[in-house]
Every structure is written in structure tokens, then in C-alpha cells.
Structure 1
Amino acid sequence: MNKQEGINVISRAMAVLPAQLSDTILKHIHLLTDYEPVIGIMGKTGAGKSSLCNALFAGEVSPVSDVVACTREPLRFRLEVGERFMTLVDLPGVGESGARDTEYVALYREQLPRLDMVLWLIKADDRALAVDEHFYRQVIGEAYRHKLLFVISQSDKAEPGSGGDKLSTEQKQNISRKICMLHELFQPVHPVCAISVRLQWGVRVMAEQMIKCLPREASSPVVAQLQCPFRTEQVKELARDDFGETVGVVLDTVSAFPLIPAPVRAIIQAVRTTVVSMARAVWDFFF
């Protein structure tokens, strides 16, 4: 990764712009390349949150805060890969304690605006979802539905469990039914994923779906945190396109500044396609 070289390539594509304007745009692009995503992970005790995180992400994990479980502040962990950081927020699962669920409403309403996305893990053999549905409608609501990715975890425990090294046809059929049930119950924005970390089943597809669900500015930094098997060409292509689009938005935003003269605005629009193309081309320099 050579960030400065990447910046230089993009800078050359904007050589026709006034120096001050070019510097402003580059400063915003720099901020994009340093973006630190924040991902929430929720699920009941034993849903496999830690297992999934360990399987997905390559970063060294360190607790951000040392809080006891009875406080309303969720546990936060910072992942580090080289000079790149990402934060995981361990959100409590609902439906385990009525008294706690009331407390969690305030916690979630405080946390949701700060999160780029939430992975909601539901165990394959969990049938008690009435509280989850109520919580989803009352707390998540329309405002944050787009941030949620439902993940059926521990698919190897779906009926009829065998403990073998691959899912049976019957298990796959029951998981498909569970996926349909969750779609009916929650009507999620994004497709429901199903995984088994133990069998390494479905995780790659889930990783791709996660990258699709993330805000454009967050997808590339998250890809940088993924374990090598999940940094597939499709995942990198999605992130590369997102990065190009966010750079394009930077140019559009600067172009819309009220004091920008019309001829300069025309030049910004003229170089936009080239700059976006260059940003995509040098994606690997940054991530």
C-alpha cells in the first residue's frame, strides 16, 4: 500500500484545476482513505458473535473500553491491520430478559446513528422471535432498517442436527425455510444470510453481502480488514466502485460551492470522469 503514490496519481488528473481547489479535493479524498468504520454485532448469548468476528476479520483486536456487563454502554473493540482501524460494537441481544430489554431500547437508540451497519445474528435453532420482531419494529424502525443485515448463525445446528462435517440436504431445506420466515417476519432491506463458522459454510457469501450493505465510504476500509479468503475479486470490485463513487461525490460537492465561478465548475465536471476512473485504478494503493 502506497497512499501517497495513489494521491499523486489522482492529483495529476486534476492538474487543470486551480491549486487551492485541487488541494481541497485531495484533502477530502485523504479523509475518505482514512475512514474508520463502526460495525455493530447483535445477537443473543451463544449466537456466535465472537466466532464470526474471528473468522471474518484479520485485525488485532483490543478492547476500547473495559465496562462491566450491567452498564448500558456496550463493549467496543478496535481492530487494527497495519495503519488501518475499525471498531466493532458488541450489542446485547434482546429477548433474554424483559427488564433488560427496556434498558436496551435507550442503548440502541443512542448507538444506531453512530453505526455504519449492524449484523444481527439469529441462531438457526432459535424459535422464540416474537420479542425480536417487536424490538425491530419499535426501535430499529424505518430510519435504520437499511443498516441491518440478518445472519442465521450456527446453521450446522439446524434440524436434523448430525454433527457432521457438512450440512445435510434436510438441514439446507430447513435453513431455506428459516430465511423465508425471517423475510416475512422482518421484511428486511437486504437478503438474509445463513452461515456456519464451524463448517466454514456461507461466510464468503455473507462477507460479499456485508460489503454491498455498507455505506460507500465504509466498504473499502472494511474490505481492508477482511481475512484473505474473503477479499475476493467480487468484493474488491464492489469496494473499488464505491470508492470511485465517493470521490465523484467529493468533486460534485466542491463544484456546488456557491463561490465557485461557472468556468471552474465546468472544468471540475469535465475532469470528473477521469478522476473517478483514476481513483478506481489506484484503489489498491490505499486499501
Structure 2
Amino acid sequence: MKKSEGLQSLQRSLSGLPQWASERILKQINQLTHYEPVIGIMGKTGAGKSSLCNALFASEVSPVSDVAACTREPLRFSLQVGERCMTLVDLPGVGENGTRDAEYAALYRQQFPRLDLVLWLIKADDRALAVDEHFYRHVIGESYRHKVLFVISQADKVEPTSGGNKLSTEQKQNISRKICLLHELFQPVHPVCTVSTRLQWGLRVMAERMIRCLPREATSPVAAQLSAPLRSDAVNKKACDDFGETVGSVLDTVSSMPLLPAPIRAIIQAVRNTVVSVARAVWSFFF
């Protein structure tokens, strides 16, 4: 019910436009609200991919299809909250099997253009990063670095380990050194995240960074998939603002159509800011 109310509010804000223009804009906005993000997650065996996904997202992950181990296709998993869906793509970890790394390179080049974001997990106690660095520089390359969010996983395994319920001062200092090392090795576009799912540590910061790294059209659908404690005010504000901006982009696209009569272009431009404000106001109706 709320969704239809949201669409009605947007429709009213477009009432000064010809019907064809209003319908076209509303159709594209409706498509935005149904966007299904695709997030890749990679890391060596034991990096904690499953436990991180379970900690981040509200719904259980379920395989989209059974993929035989002999095939080199990445596993795809579906997440669903209500009618809203998202896909996780489990990419094979590099550096575990030298004979397959060339094959994986081709797979990565094929997959990266289709992904909204890639969570690249590196175990806190993993020191063998030469292959990761090579892949990042020569396979991911300049084109897709903005899609990679590095995550130091299993922070509680950083020396000196105690098995306790919180990280020691020494562990936090060593984690800071690990973050500096990753920044030196990879020169990532986005700040490195650090998490411990066992201690439920760092997840909120990671969720906020993840939302900031996503393309605008994906932030709201991903925010809707996050577990409730991670949907912070910062997450919701970023998603809401991005939704407004994507709605604004829809109007910009229509107003820049070739052969569009000047009076109609002027009306679209005149109502743009109002429509964006309405979109932000009704964001929670959709997400």
C-alpha cells in the first residue's frame, strides 16, 4: 500500500507534464525501485565469506543453481527480503591453485563488469598476499578498482590471540599495521574495512562503507537487505539521498531527449528539484 502511495505522490509532482512524459518518468522510477544488486565476494578458503554474509544481511542465502565443482563458474546465491531480491556471487579465491589462476583471471574479467561491488576478504593472519596483489594490479586493473572494497576478516585472529570477547590494545595496533600494509600494497580506492563476525566487531562501519561504495541505484536495495542493527541513520540517509539523485537523473535523461519540444524541456527542468524532494520524502515507502 505504501509503495502505491509513494508512486501517487511522485505522479502528482509530475502533473504539469504531458501524460506520455509523466508515464515514461514514472516507469523508469518504478524500475529503480525494483533494481536487484549483484555483489561479488572473494577470498581464500577459510576467509569467512559465509559467516560475513550471514552477519551482514537479514535473510538466509540460498543457492540460485547447483554448480558442479568441476566447472569454473562462480556460485550465485539469492537473498530475499519481502519482494526485494539481491544476488551474491561467490568468486574463487586466487593464489590457492596456480594452475587455475589464469583460468580465474578470465573469469574475473568476465564477471567484474556485471557486479555492483566486490567484497575482497583477506584473513587478518594471511601474510601470503603476492598473488592477490598481482591479480589486483593486472587482472582487476584500473577499470574496476572502484568496485573493490577490501575487508580484513577474522580480526580476532590477529596476534596476540586470546580467544576473549573483545580485541586487546595490542591486537588493535596490529590491525592498524595490517590496514597500512594493505593500503601500501593495493592503494585501494576505498578505505579498508576490518571485521570480526565472532565478536560482531566492525560490522556497522563496514555496512556504512559498503553503502558509500555502491553505485547510486544499488544503495537503497542493498540497505533494505542489511540486518536491522546495521541499518544505521548514516546508511539510510545515504540510500535516501542516492534515490533522490537517481530520480533526478531520470528527469535529466528525459529532458535531454533529442527533438523534445523546448516548452516540455523547460517544464521538466522546472519541476526537477520538487520531484527529487518528493522522492526523498517517500523513500521509506519503497525501501
TM over 0.5: yes
Matched residue SS, 1:104: helix
Per the alignment, residue 197 of structure 2 pairs with: 197
Per the alignment, residue 168 of structure 1 pairs with: 168
For 2:96 and 2:258, how far apart are their aligned partners in 1? 53
For 1:63 and 1:123, how far apart are their aligned partners in 2? 24
For 2:55 and 2:90, how far apart are their aligned partners in 1? 16
The Cα of 1:18 is off from its aligned counterpart by: 0.6
Residues 1:256 and 2:239 are matched in the alignment: no
Per the alignment, residue 265 of structure 2 pairs with: 265
- How far does the alpha carbon of each residue in 1:29-60 deviate from its partner, in whole angstroms, 9 at most, with x for none? 00000000000000000000000000111124
Are the aligned partners of 1:61 and 1:79 in contact in 2 as well (CA < 8 Å)? yes
Are the aligned partners of 2:160 and 2:171 in contact in 1 as well (CA < 8 Å)? yes
Matched residue SS, 2:40: strand
For 2:69 and 2:120, how far apart are their aligned partners in 1? 19
Matched residue SS, 2:164: coil
Are the aligned partners of 2:152 and 2:194 in contact in 1 as well (CA < 8 Å)? yes
The Cα of 1:285 is off from its aligned counterpart by: 0.4
For 1:120 and 1:81, how far apart are their aligned partners in 2? 24
Aligned residues: 287
For 2:78 and 2:266, how far apart are their aligned partners in 1? 43
Q: Which amino acid aligns with 2:162?
A: S
Q: TM-score scaled to structure 2, two decimals?
A: 0.99
For 2:53 and 2:213, how far apart are their aligned partners in 1? 17
Are the aligned partners of 2:211 and 2:238 in contact in 1 as well (CA < 8 Å)? yes
Are the aligned partners of 1:6 and 1:286 in contact in 2 as well (CA < 8 Å)? yes
For 2:256 and 2:220, how far apart are their aligned partners in 1? 26
- 1:197-216 mapped onto 2 (5 Å cutoff): 197-216=197-216
The Cα of 1:260 is off from its aligned counterpart by: 1.1
Q: Which amino acid aligns with 1:111?
A: Q
Q: Which amino acid aligns with 1:65?
A: S
Deviates more, 1:95-104 or 1:217-226: 95-104
For 2:214 and 2:58, how far apart are their aligned partners in 1? 18
Q: Which amino acid aligns with 2:26?
A: L
For 1:172 and 1:15, how far apart are their aligned partners in 2? 56
- 1:29-108 mapped onto 2 (5 Å cutoff): 29-108=29-108
Structure 1, unpaired ranges of 5+: none
Are the aligned partners of 1:60 and 1:81 in contact in 2 as well (CA < 8 Å)? no
For 2:17 and 2:58, how far apart are their aligned partners in 1? 40
- 1:149-188 mapped onto 2 (5 Å cutoff): 149-188=149-188
Per the alignment, residue 147 of structure 2 pairs with: 147
Matched residue SS, 1:85: strand
Residues 1:115 and 2:111 are matched in the alignment: no
For 1:59 and 1:19, how far apart are their aligned partners in 2? 39
For 2:40 and 2:117, how far apart are their aligned partners in 1? 6
The Cα of 1:4 is off from its aligned counterpart by: 1.1
The Cα of 1:70 is off from its aligned counterpart by: 2.7
Per the alignment, residue 132 of structure 1 pairs with: 132
Matched residue SS, 1:223: helix
For 1:218 and 1:119, how far apart are their aligned partners in 2? 15
- How far does the alpha carbon of each residue in 1:49-95 deviate from its partner, in whole angstroms, 9 at most, with x for none? 00000011112422111012231110000111100000000001111
Residues 1:233 and 2:226 are matched in the alignment: no
Q: Which amino acid aligns with 1:20?
A: W
Matched residue SS, 1:217: helix
Matched residue SS, 1:224: helix
% identity of equivalent residues: 77
For 1:3 and 1:32, how far apart are their aligned partners in 2? 13
The Cα of 1:116 is off from its aligned counterpart by: 0.4
The Cα of 1:100 is off from its aligned counterpart by: 1.5
Q: CA RMSD in A?
A: 0.8
For 1:68 and 1:151, how far apart are their aligned partners in 2? 28
The Cα of 1:2 is off from its aligned counterpart by: 2.0
Are the aligned partners of 1:56 and 1:226 in contact in 2 as well (CA < 8 Å)? yes
Q: TM-score scaled to structure 1, two decimals?
A: 0.99
Deviates more, 1:97-106 or 1:48-57: 97-106
Structure 2, unpaired ranges of 5+: none
Per the alignment, residue 285 of structure 2 pairs with: 285
- How far does the alpha carbon of each residue in 1:215-246 deviate from its partner, in whole angstroms, 9 at most, with x for none? 00000000010000001111000000000000
Are the aligned partners of 2:54 and 2:60 in contact in 1 as well (CA < 8 Å)? no
